[in-house]
Amino acid sequence: MADFIRRLFVFIVLLLLGACAPAPAQVTPEATSTLVLPTFSPRNTLAPLITATPAPPKPDASRSALVPQDDGATVFIDFKGNYTLRLPPGWTLARVNEKEYENLMLNQAINDPLLQTYLMAYRNRDGETYRLFAFNLPARIEVSDYLTNIEIYLDNRETISVKQARLNLEKARQKDSKIIEILDSKEVTTPAGYEAGIYRAILETRAVTAQKSTIYYSAAILTPYNTSLLIITLGAPIELRDQVEDIIDEILASYQETR
């Protein structure tokens, strides 16, 4: 009897313990955990790459610089005249007694007597006034001693108008050459808004070798800041007129004042 009572007591205790245990948690869709992705503020974004700005070219002894372009053209910066011009590809450029002039004398001119004659004639010119020479060496006529060339002339002492400078240039060509035909003589406005003079003619003149040559001649006249006179000229054997007659217009369109 005592054993039955002891078993009954244990059974009752177990029932009471089971009744006091917490119920199992119910899992519902709302209770499931979700993956939270981090958000990025502007502070987390990569800073833009800082690219180095190319240093501006430094002037040479002539107070100018030649800056090659990716397309083969060259920008001529004249620190004395405070302007820039773009020379088209295919031209060999030289400034009096600068390094590229000496390189031409020592290399190409050795096997090119005509180029050597031109360079020797230019050596005696004043680099402060005759700022740049350019030659289109592939554009040549075997029977002619006239090299296709560009000259850039600057005179800081001249303060005349574009029109008067154009008329003076026309008179100078009448004096030193025989004018066969005047093709154009007028004032224009460049794409950048600068006033300029244009003069084009067919001339009979003499090359540096003194040989008579019939040439296509064109010139652009500018007056930077109305304090100086800038003249850009192009001359070529008449047979090459179709190849070069747009070049002065291209150079003139690139003209910018930089002060």
Mind listing the pLDDT tens digit of every residue in the chain (259 residues)?
A: 555 455 545 455 444 444 444 444 443 333 333 333 344 344 444 444 444 445 666 666 679 999 999 999 999 999 999 999 999 999 999 998 789 999 998 888 888 888 999 999 888 899 999 999 999 987 776 668 899 999 999 998 878 999 999 999 999 999 999 999 999 999 999 999 999 999 999 999 988 888 899 999 999 999 998 889 999 999 999 999 999 999 999 999 999 999 8
The CA distance from 105 to 112, in Å, is 10
Domains and CATH numbers, the chain: 64-257 (3.40.1000.10)
The CA distance from 146 to 234, in Å, is 12
Q: What is the pLDDT of residue 3?
A: 54
Instruction: Work out the burial of residue 154: count CB atoms within 10 Å of its CB; fewer than 13 is exposed, 13-18 middle, 19 or more buried.
Output: buried
The CA distance from 197 to 161, in Å, is 10
The CA distance from 145 to 132, in Å, is 21
Can you read off the two tokens belonging to residue 32?
């499931």
Strands (E), the chain: 64-68, 74-78, 83-87, 92-94, 130-135, 149-155, 178-189, 195-206, 212-222, 229-237, 256-257
Q: What is the pLDDT of residue 145?
A: 86
- Residue 188: phi and psi, rounded to 5, are -140, 170
The CA distance from 138 to 152, in Å, is 20
Beta-strand relationship, 74-78 and 83-87: antiparallel
Report which residue type is found at 222.
L
Instruction: Work out the burial of residue 141: count CB atoms within 10 Å of its CB; fewer than 13 is exposed, 13-18 middle, 19 or more buried.
Output: middle
Torsion on CA atoms 157, 99, 114, 144, rounded to nearest 10: -60
Is residue 150 within 8 Å of residue 74, measured between CB atoms? no
Q: Please tell me the chain's helix, strand, coil percentages from 3-state DSSP, rounded to the nearest 5.
A: 30, 30, 40
Whole-structure pTM value = 0.76
Q: What is the pLDDT of residue 139?
A: 73
Sign of CA dihedral 176, 177, 182, 184: negative
